[in-house]
A and B are shown apart, each in its own frame.
Chain A
């Protein structure tokens, strides 16, 4: 929690914003105010309309109703031209998108200068810009090597460039969309320290998040969106995590608890496995998954998790090393073989690798067992049997869809994940590979995923849980290993680890990346 500015003037007001996409109301009559020097957290589940609201503020979308009012340079609030990022920038609004908007083929300096100079200018004025940026960096503590090509910079540096872009244009309101999603815990702390410093200098800040802890630790005020409507707007002092979680979800939440487990014999073992090239390559991986345990793999994304999941799924053949399941050697395993011998694959990119969007829910539920007699006869599919099974699974896994015949792409992310869970876990697999299983899911769907994984563990399956969310890992895993630049540390019992230690290991021990 941070001390709140008392009677500072308003710098921004969103007044009765409504935005519809077809039948969906993304924002319904949302009113939001921001004072000078205030940090406002915009909290909500996925699909609650947070990003849409901020995109309206920045002019990417035009609201169907309502308007945006901005105070320019201490003047009174005046309406902002809708649908124009240019106008928003002119009015002193800076936005740091969740997916960075940087040209990777240009230097950091070029990206910051982009659009700040007249396109008819015959020369780019470097020297004064560099001087101004040097002062800004010294004042805010946002250090970036301005001459490096953006493609060579780390995620943390890219984010600092995005903030500098706004500060360079003398922004008076800064909006950050899920700024900590891609950062290590240490980097997140540094970011919030910077934001507090900037707010103390009078910058109004809105940050979007669904992480309760950081919202409470780093804001003056919290607005909660649910289903596109604002359901609460409270000073942070008056909030606690439980209350906020319930406001976000709309009902009480029961936390999943991991009972002590009974880990058995080593089940799935990787020895000296190397695969791939470049940043995502794996080097000399050792892993022993026991039956009846959840083995967590922590790491910042892009450190080899994707390749690890591909190797385990049989999609990538390792260049070196061996893998065994029980007594069975998996040197030349294909994806089909891995499924046949009892691997449940919950892929990282569920929309792309988890379902075939154009196919129906029932087809997607059958797709990994399409050669089994219950789904086909004489090479022809048994659609009625598939549908019947799908109806059962839809009920058992609470998949919200119009019918088993709707195309899977029409379902929400949480329900798509339920299709994947139903398809893979229903076969009682020996090994479950869950890659980022709750990424982008809301609280309700996340708790559902967690329960299913714990149930598989209770049944005696070994679960590999690859995640960037330390809370999730600490809560579910029996042991945790850390992956960094393709090297996997030895797994240690969760009880002996804490967030700080894991965070440092995720940054490669030294922790210098977090500075």
Chain B
């Protein structure tokens, strides 16, 4: 018992939770806006990989860190555009297209990496983002190290949560996004373009997802390696349902998952002698499934999710 308390009371644990949650925040916000507009984006896992690879490579080739972030976002936007064109005007199955984009983006990223670096044994490193030092806040006892010694990308993720909530609930654009995910004909009969909105949202949402990947290679680690995304994209798809498509709850879900993960690592070192490590690795996923069962039964899906819209269909 005392070990558990000790973990929960360490600033280090909370800092790790927020750090682990950061890529998930990007991913879930990106997935959430796409689904709000009626498009499931299962390309997310591949878009994470593409973002991680593109951001890292841009910096490795000499771009600045923020230049790398921009390149990662553009890579995400590119794969988002592929998914959008296949699913929106062409109306193909969103599941099939999404899986296709994931396979394509992942393989292409590995291919480019291998082609650029044919025979390195250990991945080359870059200068990664340093934790920000916010005067005043970062020096607070406990709270400072727990919450305010993160890299800029973590703060960008938190800002995106607020910005997404504001856009979705307070602006005409947000109303249009919510409407197009519920009843596209409501949007068309008010003179707006269903295709324009959906394509735009999927492209921007995918760019946000890619930032989650960029965080991995430019903030969490300082290199790119195979399999590093490791299912984070899929977790984001589940978190979106957990969050009932609300940005605030999405943040909460990502933090919970981050906390579970941070907790299991620490618990492993405490009691790892008696219990196999794999059990701890499973924990965040098991808890996610449990949370989904409780929350998602009442999930209020966007009504037009997965339903393609065809103009003037007869």
Which residues of A line the B interface, CB within 8 A? 21, 55, 58, 60-62, 85-86, 88-90, 95, 97, 99, 101-106, 110-111, 113-124, 165
Complex Cα–Cα for A110 and B171 (A): 10
Shortest Cβ gap from A309 to chain B (Å): 25
Nearest to A55 among chain B residues (CB) is: B312
Q: Contact size class for B?
A: 20 to 34
Whether the pair B176, A115 counts as a contact (CB closer than 8 A) is yes
Give the residue of A61, A97, A104, A119 whose beta carbon is less than 8 angstroms from that of B189. Answer: A97
Whether the pair B172, A102 counts as a contact (CB closer than 8 A) is no
Whether the pair B172, A121 counts as a contact (CB closer than 8 A) is yes
Whether the pair B172, A113 counts as a contact (CB closer than 8 A) is yes
Whether the pair A104, B314 counts as a contact (CB closer than 8 A) is no
Complex Cα–Cα for A22 and B245 (A): 42
Whether the pair A114, B171 counts as a contact (CB closer than 8 A) is no
Q: Which residues of A contact B192 (CB under 8 A)?
A: 86, 114-115, 119
Complex Cα–Cα for A117 and B176 (A): 10
B63 within 8 A of A: no
Q: Which residues of A contact B171 (CB under 8 A)?
A: 121-124
Whether the pair A120, B190 counts as a contact (CB closer than 8 A) is no
Nearest to B179 among chain A residues (CB) is: A103
Give the residue of B175, B179, B189, B191 whose beta carbon is less than 8 angstroms from that of A124. Answer: B175
Interface string of B300-314 (1 = CB under 8 A from A): 101100000001101
Whether the pair A118, B188 counts as a contact (CB closer than 8 A) is no
Question: With contacts A60-B311, A85-B191 known, is A111 near B170, CB below 8 A?
Answer: no
Interface of A is mostly: loop
Complex Cα–Cα for A118 and B175 (A): 11
6 nearest CB pairs, A to B: A115-B190, A103-B179, A86-B191, A117-B172, A101-B189, A103-B182
Question: With contacts A103-B178, A103-B179 known, is A124 near B186, CB below 8 A?
Answer: no
Whether the pair B185, A105 counts as a contact (CB closer than 8 A) is no
Whether the pair A118, B186 counts as a contact (CB closer than 8 A) is no
Complex Cα–Cα for A65 and B312 (A): 17
A-B contact number at CB 8 A: 89
Shortest Cβ gap from A465 to chain B (Å): 31
Complex Cα–Cα for A90 and B171 (A): 22
Whether the pair A106, B170 counts as a contact (CB closer than 8 A) is no
Complex Cα–Cα for A106 and B74 (A): 32
Nearest to A24 among chain B residues (CB) is: B314
Q: Which residues of B contact A97 (CB under 8 A)?
A: 185, 189
Q: Which residues of A contact B164 (CB under 8 A)?
A: none
Whether the pair A111, B178 counts as a contact (CB closer than 8 A) is no
Complex Cα–Cα for A95 and B311 (A): 16
Complex Cα–Cα for A373 and B94 (A): 46
Whether the pair B170, A115 counts as a contact (CB closer than 8 A) is no
Whether the pair A119, B172 counts as a contact (CB closer than 8 A) is yes
Within 8 A of A (CB), among B168-207: 170-173, 175-176, 178-179, 181-183, 185-192
Whether the pair B311, A103 counts as a contact (CB closer than 8 A) is no
Complex Cα–Cα for A333 and B36 (A): 43
Shortest Cβ gap from A113 to chain B (Å): 7
Give the residue of A21, A104, A105, A114 whose beta carbon is less than 8 angstroms from that of B190. Answer: A114
